[in-house]
Amino acid sequence: MTGRDAPASLPPAGLPGLDPHWSRIVAVPGRGLDEGRTREWHCLDTADALSRVGAPVAGTILAVHGNPTWSYLWRRIAAESLAAARRGEPAWRVVAVDQLEMGFSERTGLHRPLPQRVADLSAFADALGLDGPVVTLGHDWGGVISLGWAVDHPERLAAVALLNTAVHHPAGVPIPAPLRLARARGVLSAATVATTGFLETTLTLATPSLAPEVKDAFRAPYRSAARRAGIGGFVADIPVDEQHESFAELARISTGVAALRVPALLQWGPEDPVFGDRYLDDLVDRMPHADVHRYEGASHLVAEEQPYAATVLEWLGSSLVEEQPLPPVEAQPEAASRDHLPGWDGLDTVSARRARTGSASGSGEAFVPLWHGLDQRAGDDDVAVIDMAGRGGPRRVSWRQLEAQTRSIAAGLHEIGVRRGDRVSLLVKPGPTLTAVLYACLRIGAIVVVADAGLGVKGLTRAVRGSWPDVIIGERLGLTAARALRWPGMRISAERLPRAAAAALGVSHSVHDVAALGAGADFPAEPGPDDEAAILFTSGSTGPAKGVVYTHGQLSALRDVLAAHLEITPETGLVTGFAPFALLGPALGTRSATPDMDVSSPRTLTATAVAAAVRASDAGIVFLSPAAILNVVATSDALTAADQAALMRVHTFLSTGAPIGAPMLTAIAQLMPNATPHTPYGMTECLLVTDVTLDGVLAAAEAPDAGVCVGSPIAGNRVLVSALDADGRATGAPSAEPGVLGEIVVSAPHLKSHYDRLWVTDRMATRETEPLASATPGTRWHRTGDLGHLDAQGRVWIEGRSQHVIVTADGPIAPVEAEQAVETVDAVRRAAVVGIGPHRLRQAVAVVETSPASSRPALADPLLTAAVRASTTQPLAAVLVVPQLPTDVRHNSKIDRSRLSEWAERTLAGEKPGTP
């Protein structure tokens, strides 16, 4: 088709969310193919609306849609920016274009490859007088084109923001299947132009589905085949290889992106079948300073699924105010190809990532790396690590062997191309192999990614793909999952595999091979305290598991706090049945033993297995998870006299991960009669915050306070409370005032650096405490999501989670106080108190497990209902019984109150009471 096809026009009235006053037609002198002609563009422009508000304009957001959408995609940021201006916040003019051949802009009838598209956008921006500061915002192929403008106009550029897009595709890897299908011979025109197939398929890529009227708005510019020619042109212009006419321009833009020195924000829908996490990782390589947020579960139309607009505006307010100087371009890691990683299967490329600033040790002392304890005992033939689940009996590794193996693996990893900042996912059970691999990765500055197998296949897949590792080191089961589920990364087996098995699993090396390559070889300078060291995933008990990033300095601070608080010496010895602490023995310079158990299922740990590990290691300290304790106590009858004698040598017992009550601590104390039981309070974001012993728990039981006492802050840790407002939100200025119910806020030398690729979550976790941070320079604070209060002695009491607040007509209440009261009823084994009804008018309902257990969910009988109601001062609208309260997958002591609340609401509304 050649020649003019149709002039620009205004969209029809009544499109949902679109103010017709934003629409305008702009006459633009053409460039390139259009030299000497004037083209008509339709765009959305909030300049006049801002003028009426009278707000000073901070700059312009230049928003560019992709294929097959149009400027309607950006209606929300137009509305949000105007609302912000009316509130007196910084005002950003939004200019959202309809690219030529698309939306309601002119149909020129010309083929417009990528270089022309970039020239078109430059001509449009010049015609509109967008001199800066300009923030580019792009999605899909609009992301590439917006970045083309950004690369060409650094003097006007203030920042770049992107939704799912791509600037590079690995050589030799097929383009995504949906695009291959659309480009197939005989399909391209039929799917994109002659029919609405491509358009309609794109409109299905949203979760939840788009409203019918919104879908119809996206269809509005494309009612005829003649008006859909641009859709086909965009698909045809995908540069699939070096021979394509747009390949050189894409390469130019991708190279230029790595040199951009402005703030960048990447918001992503990881379920996008076209622009998935592979392309996000590539962009992070090129812009390692970028802030990233992955919306778990979101897909291609992330702008329709998530509050991207509010995030962009908040980010602009923070990034342009708080912007830190970036290193010069030449100091940035190059976004290289991954050809230096043998066995690379095209799923990813080696990442070059920035290290975010953290605390070296939190105390101003010189940084002592985590592997220092290992180095100190390098010539020692004493036992360092014992794996009680070893084949043929316990496997013992000396300090000398462990240090030598760690150095060989570290050098070998470097030999095969693993570099500082590369991510290495570890899918290996605790034991000598995992210990050596982990410390080897840390020594060369690789970032270890640790996700508990207890997350299940779905959760583990989310974690691995979300962190997008460069390398996976795993046992056969983990590598099988990696192959089947297409997890990214070069694969290394923890064990030697037959050649056929290695090939089937895509394994390029074994750990043995890597160590052999590194024997006697050198490796680069070791990382510093501010380099990222590890990504530890949360349990997933409060939503999708989050990756928590620690720097080397923060991990070392954790070691120091633990060593000082528990007085750990080389002779102490540890038995660690709790995964987060299973690898700290070498860091602490003391031997450690892992009991014989299934680490993905803590409840498989028995009392005899704990005793055997203590006997083998002569350990004085035992770490167990709350879930493991239940079975250890339940299986204590099987202990022999030798087992009991071994357990009598233990002087310290710890359980962390969830608060442990006095009955369970007392039961474990009977198994280890000479041990002081501790139940520290912490979370993946800050593994040790407070501590309390059994004596402290028993003393707290005499106090009038509600909740579970988790003791006082350890060492230099600080704990404050942000009070709840009438809506149940923690909005109060954090303080140490006793008796105030609110959200627990913590600070510690070993507090996490940030959440991985979760900028919004990270901001929400810290924003309310910023005044405190500024009052004490260098101090960082974290909102835990836990409800509670401080008492007059400074002890911390936990009363539930923030999302479990019940906002009644009389104000917000926490569930734990009523639950504790209900559990004093003889027939009640465990209880949960949840809310039903509308916000601010919610009523409390008790859901209980009984002893003996009920056979089915039901309303409690009148006698039990009366007893439960009499036990608490909290009015209860109803009492329900269930055979078993639902708990999360990792901590069976954590009741899923959110799930119970929904179930109770349905049941009391008259639905048949199924299993909650």
CA dihedral 637, 643, 649, 653 (to 10 degrees): -50
Which pLDDT band holds residue 349 (cuts at 50, 70, 90)? Answer: very low
On the question of pLDDT at 413 being above 80, the answer is yes
How far is 732 from 714, CA to CA, in rounded Å? 24
What residues contact residue 232 under an 8 Å CB cut-off, 6+ apart? Answer: 188, 189, 192, 193, 198
The pLDDT score that the predictor gives to residue 132 is 83
| Confidence bin at 658 (pLDDT 50/70/90) | confident
Q: Is the pLDDT of residue 416 over 70?
A: yes
- The kind and range of the H/E element at 220 are none
- pLDDT at site 774: 41
- What is the Cα 27 distance to its own chain's centre? 45
**pLDDT tens by residue, 536-585:** 998 776 678 899 999 999 999 999 999 999 999 999 999 988 766 778 89
Mean pLDDT of the chain: 89
pLDDT at 601: 77
pLDDT given at position 392: 78
C-alpha to C-alpha distance for 756 and 759, rounded to whole angstroms? 8
Geometric angle at alpha carbon 562, from 561 and 564, rounded to 5°: 65
Write out pLDDT tens, residues 351-386. Answer: 333 333 333 344 456 899 999 999 999 999 999 999
Residue 290 scores a pLDDT above 90: yes
Could you tell me which of 469, 462, 455, 506 has the C-alpha nearest to residue 484?
506
1 has a pLDDT exceeding 60: no
User: For residue range 473-529, what is the model confidence (pLDDT) as tens digits?
Assistant: 999 999 999 999 889 999 999 999 999 999 999 999 999 999 999 998 988 889 999
> So what's the pLDDT on residue 387?
92
What does the pLDDT look like over 705-762, one tens digit per residue? Answer: 999 899 999 988 999 999 999 999 999 989 999 999 999 999 999 999 999 999 999 9
Could you tell me what percent of the chain has a pLDDT over 70? 91
103 half-sphere exposure, CB direction, 13 A CA radius: 27
CA distance 729 to 803: 9
pLDDT category of residue 232 using cuts at 50, 70 and 90 = very high
Tens of pLDDT along 802-836?
Answer: 999 999 999 999 999 999 999 999 999 999 999 99
Summarize the confidence of residues 663-678 as an average pLDDT: 93
> Residue 403: its pLDDT value, please?
96
Q: Please tell me the distance from the alpha carbon of residue 406 to that of residue 443, in angstroms, as a whole number.
A: 9
What is residue 365's predicted lDDT score, i.e. its pLDDT? 64
Tell whether the torsion through CA atoms of 409, 410, 415 and 421 is positive or negative: positive
| pLDDT digits 0-9 by tens, 682-710 | 999 999 999 999 999 999 989 989 998 99
673 contact partners, CB below 8 Å, separation of at least 6: 648
Could you tell me which of 179, 172, 150 has the C-alpha nearest to residue 286?
A: 150
| Structural domains in the chain plus CATH codes | 20-169+247-320 (3.40.50.1820), 685-749+763-802 (2.30.38.10), 805-908 (3.30.300.30)
Rounded mean pLDDT, 790-798: 96
DSSP line for 133-151: -EEEEE-THHHHHHHHHHH
DSSP alpha helix (H) spans, 204-350? 212-219, 229-236, 247-257, 277-286, 302-305, 308-322
Instruction: Name the percent of the chain lying above pLDDT 90.
Output: 76
Per-residue exposure over 257-288, b if at least 16 CB sit within 10 Å of its own CB, e if not = bbebebbbbbbbbbbbebbbbbbbbbbbbbbb
Instruction: Kindly tell me the number of DSSP H helices and DSSP E strands found in the chain.
Output: 32, 36
Which H or E element spans position 652? strand 652-655
Instruction: Please report which confidence band the pLDDT of residue 322 belongs to, taking 50, 70 and 90 as the band edges.
Output: low
Mean pLDDT over 247-267 rounds to 96
Model confidence at 184: pLDDT above 80: no
Question: How far from the centroid of its chain's Cα atoms is residue 344's Cα?
Answer: 25
